[in-house]
Amino acid sequence: KGPNKVGFMGMLQPFSDGIKLFTKEMIYLNSSNYLFYYLSPIIGFILSLMVWMLIPYYFNFISFDLGILFFLSVISLGVYVLLIAGWSSNSNYSLLGGLRAVAQTISYEVSLALIMMSMLIMIMSLNIIKFFEYQSLVWFLFIMFPLSMMFLSS
């Protein structure tokens, strides 16, 4: 029947799945590095929340002059989280999967950084607020259409 099991048309299914996830028994791997195994997803979550600090709000609580450089730095730190997550379980297959994820992430980050650098040349600043101000008349999506499509695909 699919996801329409809980609630009207399956609207409560995500909440049911979340409760099921939190009530599951925790598995302790004997051969894993316990601290790194359980801390790597938490560190990855913290890094993803750090990117949200850059979103310019109406009152601009935090305004980085080097915001885009901070963005590139934080997303590149995610590589270490993947590497530690693959290494910490002491399994050859998870280590290979972690190394594969690291290689993919680095290859996407190189193209993303080059595309962002070409957009930054137009505004001559690393401030995200100036990045939005320069797009008040014409979006960069239209000015640099091929680069924008490459940015959306990476």
pLDDT confidence bin for 56, thresholds 50/70/90: confident
pLDDT of res. 61 = 66
Task: Give 90-133 pLDDT, tens digit per residue.
Answer: 889 999 999 999 999 999 899 889 988 988 898 898 888 888 88
Domain boundaries, the chain: 1-30, 31-153
86: nearest Cα among 32, 129, 46: 32
Residue type (1 letter), 118? S
Across 35-39, 60-64, 69-73, least confident range: 60-64
Q: How does 76-97 read in b/e, with b if 16+ C-beta sit within 10 Å?
A: eebbebbbbbbbbbeeeebbee
Statement: residue 50 has pLDDT above 80: yes
Q: Which residue has the higher pLDDT, 148 or 28?
A: 148
Please answer whether residues 86 and 99 qualify as being in contact, where contact means their C-beta atoms are separated by less than 8 angstroms: yes
Task: Give 70-83 pLDDT, tens digit per residue.
Answer: 999 999 999 999 99
118: nearest Cα among 150, 86, 95, 89: 150
**Residue range 16-26: mean pLDDT, rounded:** 86
Statement: residue 152 has pLDDT above 90: no
pLDDT of res. 42 = 94
Over the chain, what is the mean pLDDT? 86
